[in-house]
Amino acid sequence: MRRRLVLLPLALWLLGAALLPTQPAGVPWPTERWAEGPPAGEVDRAALQAAGDALFAPVGRGGLPDTRALLAVQGGRLVWQRFADGFGADSPFRSWSMAKSVTNALAGLLVRDGKLALDAPAPVPRWQRAGDPRRALTLRHLLTMTSGLDNADGGDGAGSYVARILFGDLASDTARGAEQAELDHEPGTHWAYSTATSQIVSAIVARTVGGGREGVDAFVTRELRAPLGLRTLVLEFDPAGTPLGGGYVWASAADWARLGLLYLRDGVWDGRRILPEGWVDFTRNVAPAENNGTYGAHFWVSAKPAEDQFQTLRPGIEAFQMNGNAGQYVVIAPDRDLVVVRLGEMHATSWAQLNDRLGAFIQAFPQQAGAAR
C-alpha cells in the first residue's frame, strides 16, 4: 500500500495534475484565527464581486438566499467571506454528503497509524464467513465507491437505499443495514455512489477506534479538532453509535475551509503530518472503473464525467472537492492555491446555475505559476 501511495504523486504529475502548494512563508496557519487580507495577484475583482452577487441572488422558500455562506481562502489567507442574514462566522452548516470526505479523513488517520490498510480485506465481521465473496472487498474499494455492492443511492425517493439508511427502516443501525448488501459487480470494476458504503466505512472507523460514540468523538477531538482548531465540528451518530459519515457532519464555513486547507496542503498542518503521505493524491486521483470519470476517494474530482455522472464544476477548473446535497461545496484548487466554500440550499437554483456561478467565482482567482507544474 505504501508503495502505491508514494507512486501516486508521480502518476498525477504525469497526468498533468497540479502539485499541492505549501503554506506561503509568513502566512500563519489558521489554527487559532485566519490571516485575512484582500485577494492577491491578478484577481479579477469585478468578476469576483459579480459572481459572488450572482451566487447570493436566488432567493428560495422562507425568503432566504439559497447561498447562506461563501468563503474563499487564497494562499492560506481568508480573502473573501459573505453570509446571508441570520448566518455568520460561527454558524454551523450541515454537510450532507460532504460528510463522506470527513470520513475519508478519519480513515486516513487510521491508515497513518497502521490500524487500517487500503488494500487489506475490509474489516467487516459479517463478511468474514468462508465463501462470502465480500471478503475480497478492501477499504480502497469502499472509499472509491467501486465495491460492486448493490447499494447505490439512486432510485425511488422513499424506497431508495440512501433514504432507508438515513431515515427509514435501516436507520436504527446503519452499519447493519448497509453491510447486508450483496455484490452485483466484480469489486474494483464498477462505480456506484453510495451513502450506505460510507456507513460501512464509518462503522469500520468506529470499530477500529473503539469506545463507542464517546471513543470516536474523543478520537476526532484529538486528531482533527485540536490540531486544526476545528471548534465547531460536530459528527452525528445513529442509535447504534455509528457516525453518520455518509451525510451528517456540521461545521462553520471557516472550519469547512480549514478541512479544505488540510487537503490543499497535502495532509500537513503547521509542520505536522495529519494524513499519511500520498493520501491526498490517492483521494484526488480518479478511481479506475469502467463508468467513473469524476470520483476519487470520498471526494469528487473536476474532470470529464462518465455517462450519468455528476458534473461537479464547469470545465476548465482543476480541482477536487467535497460535495453535498443542496449545493454544499468545499472546492480545493491547487493551481490557484485556493479553497472555496459554498454552503446553503438549492430552492431556486439549479445545479447547472450553481456550477456555472461558482465556476466564475473560482476562475476570478488566477492560476499561480508556483502552484502548478
Report the distance separating Cα 129 and Cα 148, nearest Å: 19
Phi, psi of 321 (to 5 degrees): -155, 155
State the binding string over 88-127 for other proteins (x if CB under 8 A, else -): ---xxxx---------------------------------
CB of 256 to other proteins, least distance (A): 14
Nearer Cβ to other proteins (169/307): 169
Picking from 143, 117, 118, 122, the residue whose alpha carbon sits closest to that of residue 133 is: 122
State the binding string over 138-167 for other proteins (x if CB under 8 A, else -): -------------------xxx---xx-xx
Q: Which residue in the set 35, 47, 57, 60 belongs to the binding site for other proteins (CB under 8 A)?
A: 60
Picking from 30, 21, 18, the residue whose alpha carbon sits closest to that of residue 77 is: 30
Q: Which residue in the set 26, 62, 125, 271 belongs to the binding site for other proteins (CB under 8 A)?
A: 62
Which part of the chain contacts other proteins (CB under 8 A), choosing from 198-206, 234-242, 263-271, 292-300?
234-242
State the binding string over 258-297 for other proteins (x if CB under 8 A, else -): ----------------------------------------
Say which residue the cell 425517493 belongs to: 157
List strand residue ranges (DSSP E) for 40-197, in order.
Answer: 67-74, 77-83, 93-94
CB of 164 to other proteins, least distance (A): 7
Q: Which residue in the set 61, 307, 308, 369 belongs to the binding site for other proteins (CB under 8 A)?
A: 61
Q: For residue 330, what are the β-bridge partners?
A: 322, 341
Angle value at C-alpha 225, between 219 and 228, nearest 5 degrees:
130
Nearer Cβ to other proteins (98/118): 98
Q: For residue 295, what are the β-bridge partners?
A: 300
Which part of the chain contacts other proteins (CB under 8 A), choosing from 8-16, 34-42, 120-128, 229-237?
229-237
CB of 161 to other proteins, least distance (A): 12
CB of 327 to other proteins, least distance (A): 12
Q: Which residue in the set 258, 302, 345, 354 belongs to the binding site for other proteins (CB under 8 A)?
A: 345
Q: Which residue in the set 176, 185, 213, 314 belongs to the binding site for other proteins (CB under 8 A)?
A: 213
Torsion of CA 208, 209, 212, 217, to 10 degrees: -140
> Residue 186's CB: how many other CB atoms inside 10 A?
11
Phi, psi of 324 (to 5 degrees): -140, 160
CB of 91 to other proteins, least distance (A): 7
- Region of 14 (left: φ > 0; alpha: ψ -120 to 50; beta: rest) is alpha
Report the distance separating Cα 234 and Cα 92, nearest Å: 9
Inter-residue contact 330 to 321 (CB < 8 Å): yes
CB of 19 to other proteins, least distance (A): 37
**3-state SS string over 51-67?**
HHHHHHCCECHHHCECE
- Tell me: does residue 369 bind other proteins (CB under 8 A): no
Nearer Cβ to other proteins (62/114): 62
CB of 214 to other proteins, least distance (A): 9
CB of 329 to other proteins, least distance (A): 17
Report the distance separating Cα 101 and Cα 105, nearest Å: 6
Q: Which residue in the set 16, 86, 114, 125 belongs to the binding site for other proteins (CB under 8 A)?
A: 86
Q: Which residue in the set 123, 176, 250, 293 belongs to the binding site for other proteins (CB under 8 A)?
A: 250
Phi, psi of 234 (to 5 degrees): -125, 125
Using DSSP's 3-state secondary structure scheme, residue 333 falls into strand
Inter-residue contact 56 to 343 (CB < 8 Å): no
Residues in contact with other proteins by the rule CB under 8 A: 60-62, 64, 86, 91-94, 157-159, 163-164, 166-169, 171-172, 213, 217, 234-239, 248, 250, 345, 347
